[in-house]
Amino acid sequence: EADILIHEVFWPKAEGAWYPAEAIGDEAAQAVLTSPVKGIISAVLVPPGKRVGQASGLLVIQSPELARLKADWLSAKAKLERSEAELTREQRLFEAQAGSRRELEAARSETATAKADEEAARLALEARGLSPETAGAAFTVKAPKAGSVTAYKAQLGQGVEAGQELGSFQSASAAIAKLELPLPAPEHWQPGSITEVRKADGQRWKAQVEGTPMTLTADTRRLSYRLRLLGGTLPLPGTPLEVHVPLAK
């Protein structure tokens, strides 16, 4: 009985403490939202943090540039149709010996030019990821995959340029807990070590240390760790977490 009491009281016990962390997504699952045309944001369809399916609309941009490109294509398309009709007419007249070869060749040249103009106008829209047949004066920024907007960098009514960053998108839940620790580093924390991560509502995960930092962060002068959450329903990016860090025995 005395041996048992001594064992329970004096056996070394691993101490630990909970440190604040943040849920982040894998870099490969992150995307930047942009618009291929300039215009004005006329609607925000989905708030940050709400999960959406692939190709769901996120932002609507009213674009005079897009309207001009669509008008150019419609004009070029109409010109091509007239040229083709004229070429057909000249071909019939020439075969009936009621028209000249010179007029036929002129009609062929006009049709070739009109076809090139229509193709150029079509490519101008397709280069922006738009179908000429369905493009209009408004462009909808869509979700690249299933996921959620992490943050918008543009507001309703703001004018934006083509290629400007409008926000960030996370195509999966956050599988990484980012943790910064002051020196000294946990002595027995190596890549592959398993620990616990928890959320304020009581949800917990097992987490695996992905790597140990070699240097301090430039801004906070701390050690930055990445831990991969194992199993369970993953949190949204930006969710505050706590990581259990082992200390000395």
The strand pair at 223-230 and 147-152 is best described as unpaired
**Ranges of residues in the chain whose predicted pLDDT is under 70:** 1-14, 248-249
* pLDDT at residue 32 in the model: 92
Note the pLDDT of residue 62.
Answer: 96
